[in-house]
Amino acid sequence: MDEPVAAQQQAPERTPSAPAAPAPRPGRLATAVALARAGLIAAALVAVYYLLPLDRPGQAATTALLVCGLLVVAGVFAWEVRTIVHAPNPRLKAVEALAATVALYLVLFAGTYYLLERSAAGSFSEPLTKTDALYFTLTTFTTVGFGDISARSQAARVATMFQMAGGLVVVGVAARILAQAVQTGLRRRGGQAAAPRADGNETEEPP
């Protein structure tokens, strides 16, 4: 009679495994730091644009700048997507990645328009300074189009069409890729957080 009771007492108790804990949201300090870092990245890229000596106009130089710049933008974006997946706070890292990608994209086309105007006067409706080129780039990217500055030459119009098409890619495809990278990073964090909890729920055999 005592054997079943003893067997029941020696049987290890099993506790149901706890569900995976949701990824914690970043605090206010981390959010503020991420936003400040994103602003500093954009400001640094604009400062580099103004400091670069873009004094070698020419069709070849302009084309090389545009092609190489687009490759750099694509490379930076791919690297940012990878860092988002492995970042402690994927959402905040995505904000930094978007700021860096958009700022680099805008600065690239602003430099292209500036060189186009210097290599072929009359490419735009008025001579462009660096500020004018950046202004035209922003109005084109945001689809505002005040019309005070417009592309006149064939090369300037082709560059503007490339920017319009690239803007659609940045807003649509790139934003979707960043969102998917954030979700992947959050699932990865949730899996890492659930592993210690599962280990902690393992029952120990009685001595």
Q: CA-to-CA distance for 127 and 117, rounded, in angstroms? A: 7
Confidence category of residue 145, pLDDT binned at 50, 70, 90: confident
For the chain, give the percent of residues with pLDDT over 70: 77
Q: Encode pLDDT of 45-98 as tens digits.
A: 999 999 988 876 677 778 888 888 889 888 988 888 888 888 888 888 888 888
In this structure, of 45-49, 106-110, 135-139, 186-190, the range with the lowest mean pLDDT score is: 186-190
Instruction: With residue 111 as reference, give the H or E element that holds it.
Output: helix 90-119
Average pLDDT rounded to a whole number, residues 151-173: 90
How far apart CA 177 and CA 124 sit, in angstroms, is 35
The yes or no reply on domain 40-191 and CATH 1.10.287.70 is: yes
pLDDT of residue 22: 52
User: Which of 125, 97, 59, 67 shows the shortest CA–CA distance to 135?
Assistant: 125
Mean pLDDT of 87-112: 89
Going by C-alpha positions, the residue among 129, 74, 79 that lies closest to residue 104 is 74
**In the chain, where the domains are located:** 40-191
| Phi, psi for 124 (deg, rounded to 5) | -125, 170
Residues 6+ apart with CB under 8 A from 129: 114
Burial class (CB in 10 A: 0-12, 13-18, 19+), 16: exposed
- DSSP character for 54? -
